[in-house]
Amino acid sequence: DTGVSQDPRHKITKRGQNVTFRCDPISEHNRLYWYRQTLGQGPEFLTYFQNEAQLEKSRLLSDRFSAERPKGSFSTLEIQRTEQGDSAMYLCASSLMLGTGVTEAFFGQGTRLTVV
Amino acid sequence: GNSVTQMEGPVTLSEEAFLTINCTYTATGYPSLFWYVQYPGEGLQLLLKATKADDKGSNKGFEATYRKETTSFHLEKGSVQVSDSAVYFCAGSNFGNEKLTFGTGTRLTIIP
């Protein structure tokens, strides 16, 4: 397995446009997380899924943001009507929830979004 | 909610110097604690973790001990190498959702 993959790695978009990012987790992992990281800060939690169910959303996730994981495998994060404040690195992580606990989270390399 | 306060950077040390990066946390209950590392051009990687009080996590010569009495999880290494240059993040998570709360990160540069 090649780890967590994110696509694209970089995205430049004009303010007001919609963008969609994709995350492919490690294949057997049932948990998938999205985080956002701005320059000089640590990653901030956005949302997470267990299989296809979205179990929690942060208050950071405004109505313009939507995340899906339709078949419990890959996930998409869409931002509608982008704003300059959306410029950040968007990170995806996955882990495996077992009866005995959760394995460590493995992170992708992120998608860097620049809104101009 | 949980919060993690991490020593501000950047930190520059000479090779073979002793390293300490401070981290303290506030949380409801007893979170699991982690140190993640981000090498240039790479994604976040788990460096070490501790899941309960007095646990010591260790990896690649780095250590951190979960101190409940001081709510701390300081990262230490006895002799740093140039290859340790990276950004280090302290993080915590609660049982159940395991979402991570990160500190702001500390950029470490080791000079030969």
Q: Which residues of A2-26 are buried (b: 16+ CB within 10 A; e: fewer)?
A: eebebeeeebebeeeeebebebbbb
Q: Does A109 touch chain B (CB under 8 A)?
A: yes
Q: Which is it for the CA torsion A2, A107, A19, A56, positive or negative?
A: positive
User: Dihedrals φ, ψ of B84, to 5°?
Assistant: -85, -5
Give the pLDDT confidence of A56-104 residue by residue, as tens digits: 999 988 999 999 999 889 999 999 999 999 999 999 999 998 877 777 8
Cβ separation B43–A105 shorter than 8 A:
no
Do residues B5 and B25 lie in contact, with contact meaning Cβ atoms separated by under 8 Å?
yes
- C-alpha dihedral, A91 to A38 to B94 to A96, nearest 10°: 10
Question: Residue A1: its pLDDT value, please?
Answer: 53
Nearest to A44 by CA among A6, A4, A93: A93
Q: Which residues of B are less than 8 Å from A29 in CB distance?
A: none
Residue segments in chain B with a per-residue pLDDT below the cut of 70: none
Burial class (CB in 10 A: 0-12, 13-18, 19+), B55: middle
Q: Are strands A111-115 and A10-13 parallel, antiparallel or unpaired?
A: parallel
Q: Cα–Cα distance between B39 and B92 in angstroms, integer?
A: 20
Which of left, alpha, beta for A112 (phi over 0: left; psi -120 to 50: alpha)? Answer: beta
Question: Residue A40: its pLDDT value, please?
Answer: 87
Q: Cα–Cα distance between A88 and A91 in angstroms, integer?
A: 9
Cβ-nearest to A45 among B46, B99, B103: B99
Give the pLDDT confidence of B96-107 residue by residue, as tens digits: 778 999 999 999
Cβ-nearest to B98 among A41, A44, A102: A102
Residue of B33, B35, B44, B59 to mutate, interface with A, max A Cβ within 10 Å: B44
Please tell me which residue, A113 or B52, carries the higher pLDDT value. A113
Q: Which residues of A are less than 8 Å from B104 in CB distance?
A: 40-42
Question: Residue A60: its pLDDT value, please?
Answer: 86
Do residues B43 and A108 lie in contact, with contact meaning Cβ atoms separated by under 8 Å?
yes
Residue of A107, A109, A111 to mutate, interface with B, max B Cβ within 10 Å: A107
